[in-house]
Structures are given as C-alpha cells and as structure tokens.
Amino acid sequence: MKAAIVREAGRPPVYAEFAEPSPASGENLIDVTAAPLSHVTKARASGTHYSAATAFPFVAGLDGVGRRHDGGRVYFFMPRAPFGSMAARTAVDASHCVPLPDDIDDVTAAAIAIPAMSSWAALKERAKFVAGESVLINGATGTSGRLAVRVARHLGAGRIVATGRDRDSLAALSSLGADATVALQQDDAAIARAFAQEFESGVDIVLDYLWGPSAENLLTAAAKIGKALRFVQIGSIGGAAIPLPAHTLRSFPLDLMGSGIGSVPMPRIRNAVGEVLRAASAAGLTTNAKAVPLVDVEKYWSTLDPRSRTVFLCRDE
C-alpha cells in the first residue's frame, strides 16, 4: 500500500510502498480517507515529541478518519506502530476509534478532532470547568486556539479572554465568542497592564497554547493579583521553558497542570473526542481545511499555516 514513510529522524516522510497492516485481536483495520497534518504529527516524526516512536521506518500520522471493514465511518487515533494514519490502511485498537455522526464530513472531522479536543479535555478533564467560569486562552489565533474560543463558549464560559500575536486574527475572535482580547505584539509593560486588568476582572482558568514569555507574564500578573487560578499548559510554540520563581508558586492559590497525551488517560481522550465530534455542528466547530492528496506529502510537510489545516486524502493511487 502507499503511505507517508518516515525513514529517519529529522527528514520529511516519503510517499512510497509500505507493508499492509494485519489487525491483531481487538484491532480494527481502517481504510483511511483523511489524515491531518499537525505540530504533534511533525514533532513525533522528527523524534522531538515526548511520545515519538524510536524505531524506523514507520508511517507518519497520529490520527485520521476512515471506514472499518463493516462500513462504519470512524475517527481514529494512535494507530499501532509502525503504522500511522497517513496511509491507505492502518491498524488501530478498537478502543481508539470513535463513530462519526452523519452531520460532519471526513475532512472537517480530521481537521478539528485533535485541536478541539485539546481545549475540551483541558477544561473538562483537567481544570474541572464549571459553567459560568471565566477562561483566558493564551494563543487563540491558531487553529486550536480559535476552536478553544468556540468550545469554551459552547460549554458555558461566563467570560472569554483571547490573546494572540496576529492583530487581525485577534480582532476576528469576537465573532467566535471572545469577550476581550489582549495583543501580544506590544511591550512588556503594556502586556503586564493588560494581563493585570483581566485578572483583576476575574479569570478562573488559563488555557495556554504558547508557554514561553507570554505564559511567564501571565503567571507573574496573576500572582500580583492573588486570586485563585487553574493554569492548564497545552502547547509550547512560544517556547519550551520559562523561568518560574518559587515565590510565584507560593504567593497565590495556583493549580499548574498540563493536558495532553499521558496527563489525560486514553479512555478520557476518546470520550472527549467523541463529545467534540457530536457537538461540532451545534457548537460551530469548524476550521479552514485544505484537502490535498497524500502523494504530495513531501510538498506540504514543511508548511503549517496557523490559519488553516492541511488534511491529506489517503487512497491508493
């Protein structure tokens, strides 16, 4: 079968022949129709993600959409190594497959499942969100952040604050449900004042997609205000590490936690994905998706547009 094959760390996958999967007991053989390109997929392929495979070669792709051999249409995640989602077929534990509702198409489901699940699971599984609470989304102008605004609104957030670098994209978030925005493209003093004002107004939960300097500034501002805060770390495109003074942790009631593979049990991730897909239509969970053939994987692998989501169409040529 044709697949996007990672032969060594640090090199893009190549479109070539790979062995057909043979499903083991408890697994589904999936005819893949759509597989998304994401930061996590690229990091796993490069060997830099904490959940990356260590044996080569393997097929790229963390998740996707396809059909079981009984015809059932499913979203799936975490195929059995060395198989991945970017192939004509893959083998997946049956517990990692979620039936798709009829009102969502394959490309949309593949494009939104993980990005929307990231905020859904962070709020419900990690932060134990209660309707009416205020949520600040740090890094809300990317695909996951924009969906997080929609998710928070759908789940009943009382107030939503969005931050981001792209002023035009940030301005558009009010139409998705953001009540206030903070631009990160300004000097530290201005950002500190803006964050202090938001924490003074009341923020119960921070969903952080950036880490780096903006997360450091958020924690510093929250400590000065001193109100209880649940801070959920989800992504780190703004930096892998921050200096965190000990007194910041001691000076106010802070719950600092992560949300992702490992911190949320797989059955709960599956449950969150199912809830996202069932709510997608009612909650308006959509994103700009660019559907391209898998044969062009090398061409599109190096491009990640924060304003759209690349989804590979997987079928034997």
* Mean pLDDT, residues 253-274: 95
* Mean pLDDT, residues 117-126: 98
Q: Residue 53: give its domain's CATH number.
A: 3.90.180.10
Question: For the chain, how many structural domains are there in total?
Answer: 2
For 51-89, the pLDDT digits (tens) are 666 688 999 999 999 999 999 999 999 999 999 999 999
The number of CA neighbours under 13 Å toward the Cβ of 96 is 24
Average pLDDT, whole number, for the chain? 93
- Give the domain extent around 9: 2-100+287-313
User: Is 192 in the same domain as 303?
Assistant: no
**Which tokens hold the place of 220?**
């510093």
Is residue 237 within 8 A of residue 49, CB to CB? The reply is no
pLDDT recorded at residue 44 = 78
Where would I find the H helices in 87-211? 106-121, 143-155, 167-172, 188-201
**Strand ranges inside 236-279, DSSP E:** 254-258
pLDDT higher than 80, residue 206: yes
User: Is 96 in the same domain as 119?
Assistant: no
Interhelix angle 188-201/212-225, nearest 10 degrees: 50
* Mean pLDDT, residues 239-244: 94
User: Is 167 in the same domain as 298?
Assistant: no
For 9-33, the pLDDT digits (tens) are 878 899 999 999 999 999 999 999 9
**Which tokens hold the place of 264?**
């949320």
pLDDT recorded at residue 54 = 63
Q: Which of 238, 61, 36 is nearest to 140 (CA)?
A: 238
pLDDT recorded at residue 161 = 98
User: Is 248 in the same domain as 126?
Assistant: yes
User: Is 96 in the same domain as 120?
Assistant: no
Q: What is the dihedral of CA 205, 211, 213, 219, to 10 degrees?
A: 30
In a domain, 268, yes or no: no
User: Is 235 in the same domain as 124?
Assistant: yes
> Among 213, 237, 258, which residue terminates a domain?
258
For 79-114, the pLDDT digits (tens) are 999 999 999 999 999 999 999 999 999 999 999 999
User: Is 27 in the same domain as 58?
Assistant: yes
